[in-house]
Each structure stands twice: as structure tokens, then as C-alpha cells.
């Protein structure tokens, strides 16, 4: 693992740096494919675009994987498009001689363990050097790992006899795929890509891929022999997170509404308090748009936190108006609402100022930028400013209009 300097201390993004590394390493001998993952230190994890081409025939999977990779390269914001390279490579296969295994009473597992120990070695002990754990492995020297030498390894039979390995196995050279990956029991090819978060997001890219293939298949009659696209990585985690956040926000709103109903014993006043939420959320989304930020995992968390702050400020105002309702007859509706709002300006403003002052340095990376926490701070900080304006202007006006209309006062 390589740790980069903080984002505000360098001129290039992590995506640009790893793209340069991969380009430089592609020409190295002995490497068929090089891929770097960027770990930002928080969810969602994995490559931003991680698609699995699952099922179907080998030809269908290969064709779909090639088409998906070609489509990703045309989409704005996608970088470092990769697909699994499954080129045949020379391998040695071991064919067991079951007739001799049965004759000597030797199991296939026993032969497999002997070959594995000869090639990879066997861990025999460990020691601790301070805090470092050091393992010791016993293995053959490299010049003893040739097939001729391996043939002379002895395997103990059931009756104690030592049998040479060349009696029990036959070595076969073959060009074959080095590794076959599976997903739920079906063969799979992985297609992945990086992402410029200032341009797009994983879900948008996945929707564009789905739309492109649905349109092309319908127009051109393409057939991938049953192969299909399955999202993984950040796409899957973001989908699951958004579903969970939808439930969390719904539960939060229902809980807040019930508490307000118990507090005010009045549906209209409770709804007036909650009316600040759409303005704050809309403002937060507008701030993300102005700062060229996408709606990320942590920005949604920031919106959930923002709901509580907005309701608190609105609650302070409406409860004060309810608590001083006895002054309304003497002052009249307009003067009563203006006076009540003015008396709450200091309390609401101080709460907003202290919250924003604490979050703005994190939002703009003053002292250190965090790719994940900064969008959350941006949402909460500017959301508080917008809800402050709404609480002191829109909410009093809404309260005046609703409550005055309800009582029929002039």
C-alpha cells in the first residue's frame, strides 16, 4: 500500500497519479495486466466502476466484456478502463494414476500435499522480533523443483513402503487459462474503471451502460448468448446505501413528526416546523452543484444530520410564538410575528454561526482536505446557512399565513 500526500498539498489527483503509474508499468516484461485501486479510507470501497460479465458462453462473455469496455471508454468522466486478460499460458497439469494409488493405498490428497510442499514449502514455526511476526518456511531449492527431481520424491504407502512420485502421477504440458473466476457458480469476466468524481458518479455511469446496451441490443439485435452485466464494488454499495438512507430518512421524519405532534398538540404547527426541511435539502443540493460535487455517500449522511439542525432552529421559533400567544391580541398578527422572530434572531444566529465556523475549514480543506468528509461538511455547513435564512424569513411568513387564515383574523 502506498500513501499519497494530502490532496491540497499536491497538484494532481490520485486518479491521475495511478493512471500514470499504470501507463508506465504496462511495458514491463512479465506483467500481463497492472491495476491500482484507490482507497480513500471510507465507504463505499472498491473500484468506482466494477462490472461482472456473468454466464452465457465463453464467446458471448468475451464479446460482451469487449463491448462494455468500449462503451465505458466513450463515457465522460471514466478513466483507466480495464478488463480481465485471460490469455492462455503454459501450465503443467498433474494426472493421477489411480490404479497405482489404489494398489499402494495412497490417497489423492496425500499426493497433492506432497507436490504442494515441494513447490511452495511448508510453514514450520514463527518468532516475534519486537512487534513484527516472522514466519519460517521449509522448501526445496529452486534447482530441485524440476520435473526430473520431483519424480524422485518418495511418498509413503499404506504398508510403509516409499514409492517414487513418477509411479503415481504423469506430468502434462498444456496452454490453458491460468485462472477461471466464478460468480455464484457461473464463469465471469471483470470489467472495471476509475472515475472523475467531479464529472460523474458510479450510479450514473451504470445507468448509461444499461441504457446503451438496451438500446443497441434492441436496434442491432445483438445476442451475447445469455451473458449479462452484474454491478459490484461502489455501484452495488451505493445502491444498497441509498436504499438504506431512504428508509433512514423516512424513519427520521416520522419520528420527528410524532415528537412535534406530542410537543405542540397541533398538526398545523408541527407541519410549519417541518416545512424548513425541503428548503434546506434543496439548498444543500444546489450547493453541491455549485461546488461541482456529486451526491456521495457522505453527503447523504450530511443531509440526515442537517435535518435535525434545521428542525431545531424552526422549533425554537415556532415554540416561542406558541409560548407568547397571549400577546397576539394586543399586538395584532403581523406585529406579533415580527416581534417573536426578532427575539429569536440571536439564539438561532449564534447556533448557525458556531456550526458553520466549525465546518467550513473541513469543507474547504483549510488545514487538510478529506475527500469523503469534506462533502458532508459542505452540505451541513451551507445547509445551516440556508435554513437560517429560511427560518427567519419563510417560516414566520408561513406561520402568519397559516395561523391567521385558520383563525379568520384580519
Q: Is there a contact between 47 and 233 (Cβ–Cβ < 8 Å)?
A: yes
89-177 maps to which CATH number? 3.30.2090.10
pLDDT at 219: 53
User: What is the distance between the alpha carbons of residues 101 and 169, in angstroms, rounded to a whole number?
Assistant: 9
- pLDDT tens digits along 389-410: 888 888 889 888 888 777 654 4
Cell of residue 72, nine digits:
465505458
The CATH T-level fold of domain 266-407 is Multidrug efflux transporter AcrB transmembrane fold (1.20.1640)
- What mean pLDDT value characterizes the chain? 82
Residue 44's pLDDT band (cuts 50, 70, 90): low
Share of the chain above pLDDT 90, in %: 3
Q: Is there a contact between 275 and 313 (Cβ–Cβ < 8 Å)?
A: no
Q: Please check the confidence at residue 369 and state whether its pLDDT lies above 80.
A: no
Residue 16's pLDDT band (cuts 50, 70, 90): confident
Q: Please check the confidence at residue 41 and state whether its pLDDT lies above 60.
A: no
Q: Please check the confidence at residue 120 and state whether its pLDDT lies above 50.
A: yes
Q: What is the residue extent of each domain of the chain?
A: 7-84+200-235, 89-177, 266-407
Q: Whose CA is closest to 235, among 46, 26, 2?
A: 46
The residue with cell 387564515 is 405
- pLDDT tens digits along 76-106: 888 888 887 766 667 788 889 999 999 999 9
Average pLDDT over residues 306-326: 86
pLDDT at 117: 87
| Residue 137 parent element (H or E) | strand 132-138
User: What is the distance between the alpha carbons of residues 380 and 213, in angstroms, rounded to a whole number?
Assistant: 38
pLDDT at 375: 82
Q: Please check the confidence at residue 32 and state whether its pLDDT lies above 70.
A: no
Cell of residue 167, nine digits:
509411479
Average pLDDT over residues 380-386: 88
- pLDDT tens digits along 122-181: 888 888 877 788 888 888 888 888 888 888 889 999 888 899 999 999 988 876 665 667
The residue with cell 472515475 is 195
Helix residue spans in 133-188 (DSSP H): 147-150
* Strand residues in 201-311 grouped as ranges (E): 228-232
pLDDT at 410: 45
Q: Look at 319 and 198; give whichever has higher pLDDT.
A: 319
- pLDDT tens digits along 100-109: 999 999 999 9
| Residue 389 parent element (H or E) | helix 373-407
Amino acid at each position: 500500500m502506498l500513501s499519497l500526500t494530502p490532496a491540497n498539498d499536491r497538484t494532481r489527483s490520485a486518479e491521475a497519479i495511478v493512471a500514470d503509474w499504470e501507463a508506465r508499468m504496462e511495458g514491463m516484461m512479465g506483467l500481463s495486466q497492472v491495476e491500482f485501486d484507490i482507497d480513500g479510507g471510507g465507504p463505499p470501497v472498491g473500484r468506482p466502476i466494477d462490472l461482472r460479465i456473468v454466464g452465457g458462453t465463453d464467446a458471448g462473455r468475451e464479446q460482451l466484456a469487449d463491448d462494455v469496455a468500449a462503451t465505458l471508454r466513450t463515457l465522460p468522466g471514466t478513466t483507466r478502463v480495464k478488463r480481465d486478460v485471460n490469455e492462455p499460458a503454459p501450465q503443467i497439469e498433474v494426472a493421477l494414476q489411480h490404479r497405482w494409488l489404489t494398489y499402494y493405498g495412497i490417497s489423492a490428497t496425500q499426493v497433492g500435499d506432497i507436490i504442494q510442499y515441494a513447490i511452495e514449502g511448508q510453514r514450520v514455526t514463527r518468532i516475534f522480533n519486537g512487534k513484527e511476526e516472522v514466519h519460517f518456511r521449509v522448501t526445496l531449492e529452486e534447482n530441485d523443483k524440476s520435473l526430473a527431481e520431483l519424480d524422485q520424491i518418495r511418498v509413503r504407502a499404506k504398508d510403509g513402503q516409499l514409492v517414487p512420485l513418477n509411479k503415481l502421477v504423469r506430468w502434462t504440458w498444456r496452454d490453458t487459462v491460468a485462472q477461471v473466476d466464478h460468480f455464484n457458480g457461473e464463469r465471469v469476466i471483470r470489467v472495471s474503471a476509475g472515475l472523475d468524481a467531479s464529472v460523474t458518479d458510479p450510479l450514473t455511469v451504470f445507468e448509461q451502460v444499461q441504457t446503451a446496451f438496451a438500446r443497441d441490443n434492441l436496434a442491432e439485435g445483438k445476442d451475447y448468448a445469455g451473458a449479462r452485466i452484474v454491478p459490484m464494488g461502489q455501484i452495488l454499495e451505493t445502491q444498497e446505501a441509498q436504499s438504506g438512507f431512504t428508509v433512514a430518512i423516512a424513519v427520521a421524519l416520522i419520528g420527528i413528526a410524532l415528537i412535534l405532534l406530542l410537543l405542540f398538540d397541533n398538526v398545523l404547527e408541527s407541519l410549519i416546523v417541518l416545512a424548513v426541511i425541503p428548503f434546506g435539502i434543496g439548498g444543500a443540493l444546489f450547493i453541491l452543484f455549485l461546488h461541482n460535487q456529486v451526491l456521495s455517500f457522505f453527503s447523504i449522511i450530511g443531509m440526515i444530520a442537517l435535518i435535525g439542525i434545521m428542525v431545531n432552529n424552526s422549533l425554537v421559533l415556532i415554540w416561542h410564538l406558541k409560548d407568547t400567544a397571549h400577546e397576539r391580541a394586543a399586538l395584532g398578527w403581523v406585529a406579533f410575528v415580527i416581534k417573536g422572530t426578532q427575539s429569536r434572531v440571536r439564539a438561532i444566529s449564534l447556533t448557525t454561526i458556531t456550526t458553520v465556523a466549525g465546518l467550513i475549514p473541513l469543507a474547504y480543506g483549510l488545514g487538510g482536505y478529506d475527500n469523503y468528509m469534506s462533502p458532508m461538511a459542505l452540505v451541513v455547513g451551507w445547509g445551516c446557512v440556508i435554513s437560517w435564512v429560511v427560518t427567519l424569513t419563510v417560516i414566520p411568513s408561513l406561520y402568519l399565513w397559516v395561523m391567521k387564515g385558520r383563525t379568520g383574523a384580519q
